[in-house]
Amino acid sequence: MSSSKNIRIGTRDSELATWQAKQVAQQLNKLGHNTELIFVKSEGDLDLTTPLTEMGGKGVFTKALDNAMLKDEIDIAVHSFKDLPTENPLPLKVAAILERADPRDTLVTSKGTDFLDDPDYRAVIATGSNRRKAQWLNRYPNHEITNIRGNVNTRLEKVASNQWDGAIFAAAGLTRIDLDHHIDAYLDWMVPAAAQGAMAVMIREDDGEMEEVIRQLNHDETALCTTIERDFLHEMEAGCSAPVGAYANIEDGEVHFKAVALTLDGEERFDYEHRVSVGKAGDLGLEAAQELLEKGAIKVIEEIRLQ
Ligand SMILES: NCc1[nH]cc(CCC(=O)O)c1CC(=O)O
């Protein structure tokens, strides 16, 4: 591809999405390509009142960018990989998965974390995610979860104004936009969302020229791990609103994979944990889903369908 033509990078206009798109622009600039950012508003950003779990779930943040790409208004789209549905019927594909940042969930509090040690304190914790809600209630059964929407900045303001005891955020989101000083605790015990902390770059399926450029940005280890996590999610037929977590990482040539599915009230959980050599990790996501469904996690999926 000639380096004089701009690569049109489509992104949502939130601070986090813009940061991520700029990151991709920088990497492309380093490879000698010119770039421009094109901002596209998504349904998920425009409607801030409907709970995410009721917005038709799949693709509320990605549909507008998909359409812009299909109409040839942009060449590539940058996404938080965890926001991308595992099923994509459109003639679009992921051409690169970038190196993952910190995958952990974190707690931001209004008055410190001491309340976590008081078993009688009935804390109110804000999150819009069923995965975070179910895992939190599993660990802190007498706490209350309140639903939230809105971008990272609005959610932080509400914690600061003491409306809640705390709210849960992805470490990667806060760190990328320099707000990680708000983090009061890293929730190492919480299993992250599939692909949390990773970015994906999408292209038109038939755009071979762009594919050659973009695939240079791929980070192989991140791609292997997030593929296992998303295979698991897909095989569970769980969708992004399910109380399901999945996290794979590579240590000493082995893939370590953890997956969890919980009932929405957090009372029941189904856990999977396994290590295999990198060469044998291809089917880990599928195996984990089959094992958990057999163990009883099918009820988690049925519960989410009835919602
Ligand atoms: N659901 C929105 C969303 N999509 C990606 C991130 C953070 C960045 C990432 O996980 O890659 C966030 C915010 C959050 O979960 O707190």
Q: Which atom of ligand 1 is nearest to the CA of 83?
A: 4
Would you give per-residue pLDDT tens digits along the chain (307 residues)? 545 689 999 999 989 999 999 999 999 999 999 999 999 987 666 555 666 565 555 566 788 999 999 999 999 999 999 999 999 899 999 999 999 999 999 999 999 999 999 999 999 999 999 999 999 999 999 999 999 888 888 899 989 887 899 999 999 999 999 999 999 999 999 999 999 999 999 999 999 999 999 999 999 999 999 999 999 999 998 777 899 999 999 999 999 999 999 999 999 999 999 999 999 999 999 999 999 999 999 999 999 888 7
Angle at 68 between CA 66 and CA 72, to 5 degrees: 115
Task: Spell out the CATH class of 6-100+198-218.
Answer: alpha beta
CB atoms within 10 A of CB 250: 15
196 in contact with ligand 1, CB cutoff 6 A: yes
Closest to 33 measured CA to CA, from 69, 63, 8: 8
Beta strands, E only, 46-165 = 76-80, 92-97, 105-109, 124-126, 144-146
- State the distance from the centre of ligand 1 to the C-alpha of 225, rounded, in angstroms: 18
Q: Judge if 6-100+198-218 and 105-186 fold alike in CATH terms.
A: yes
pTM: 0.93
Residue 306 is predicted with a pLDDT of 84
By DSSP bridging, strand 166-170 and strand 124-126 are parallel
- In CATH terms, the fold of domain 105-186 is D-Maltodextrin-Binding Protein; domain 2 (3.40.190)
Residue 224 is predicted with a pLDDT of 98
Break the chain into its structural domains and give their ranges: 6-100+198-218, 105-186, 232-306
Closest to 153 measured CA to CA, from 108, 104, 200, 103: 108
Counting every residue, how long is the chain? 307
195 in contact with ligand 1, CB cutoff 6 A: no
Task: Spell out the CATH class of 232-306.
Answer: alpha beta
Return the H-helix or E-strand segment holding 174: helix 171-176
Residue 58, token pair as written in the block: 């799949």
ipTM (interface predicted TM) = 0.96
User: 203-218 pLDDT, tens per residue?
Assistant: 999 999 999 999 999 9
61 in contact with ligand 1, CB cutoff 6 A: no
Pick the catalytic residue from 83, 102, 105, 207: 83
